[in-house]
Amino acid sequence: MDGPVIETQRLTKRFRGGQLAVDHLDLTVPGGSVFGFLGPNGSGKTTTIRMLMGLIEPTSGAARLLGERMPRAARTVLPQVGALIEGPALYGFLNGRDNLLRFDSADPAADPRTRKARVAEALDRVGLTAAAGKKAKAYSLGMKQRLGLAAALLQPRRLLVLDEPTNGLDPQGMREIRTLIRELAGDGTTVFLSSHLLDEIEQVCTHAAVMARGRLITQGPVADLASTARGRLAVTTPDPADAARVLKEHGVTDLTVTDDRVTGEPPAAAELADINTALVRADIRVRGFGLERASLEDAFVELTGEGFDVAG
């Protein structure tokens, strides 16, 4: 489709008691993107998603999905949207396969003649074929996340909305889900991925938005967001202690010293050539010198003045 797949204008949600969860959010998600919705827990991500999906009404502002106003157009739009929000709602007494059969039978647009085949394909895509006969109440958190994702994939979707989809998964499971997201995007599905894991967003997303305390800090292509931050200065030398001393004297902060390497944050107005010259004049043997590429974490810290859990 032409135009944004998700668009909000001054979207705001204030709960009873005065808590402002989302504050005048202007968000634009391009069609065909893998869009990372990034922020620490409590930053307003899930509340935003619930408004986008028509699960709660905004206090003010507007939201559009697939070009249609939500929640007014929910019955038209939602059949084209797959979603996994705040973990899947499963029937614990049913096995994985029967859960998906139940979900699919509740979809008026689902063809019952191909139901079993579609369920089998969805289980295979998320790596649950071997556990399909196991009751859902015995599933681990990661397995429940996989089953919820399978439910979202029972039908072809123009938009897939995922709230912390790798929650509870081990590193191998996280890699598998990232690969699946890339495959879906390659098939033309726009993926809106909410996460507090910066490295996850950086590895899989083409675009991202950063939230903090209910407000949008920035949005755009991931490469552009990372480029707004200056990278860390890295010096390779057999004299790391002496190099750290000289770097500190020249305003380099947050120094980290390893066996033969020193990294730190260079002062904003510093000429790197002058710092390199100072190291050489101090008889420090410099074998490598330069700025490392800034990460999305660096950009977030620079934009907000704070960090958050980047490892889960």
- Domains identified in the chain and CATH numbers: 4-221 (3.40.50.300), 233-293 (3.30.70.100)
3-state secondary structure of 140: coil
Nearest partner of 115 among 106, 105, 126, judged by Cα: 105
| 105-143 tens-digit pLDDT | 988 888 999 999 999 999 998 889 999 999 999 998 888
pTM of the predicted model, to two decimals? 0.75
Q: pLDDT value at position 295?
A: 63
Question: What confidence category does residue 311 fall into, taking pLDDT thresholds of 50, 70 and 90?
Answer: very low
Residue 63, pLDDT > 50, answer: yes
Q: What is the pLDDT of residue 168?
A: 78
158: amino acid identity, one letter: R
Average pLDDT over residues 219-225: 84
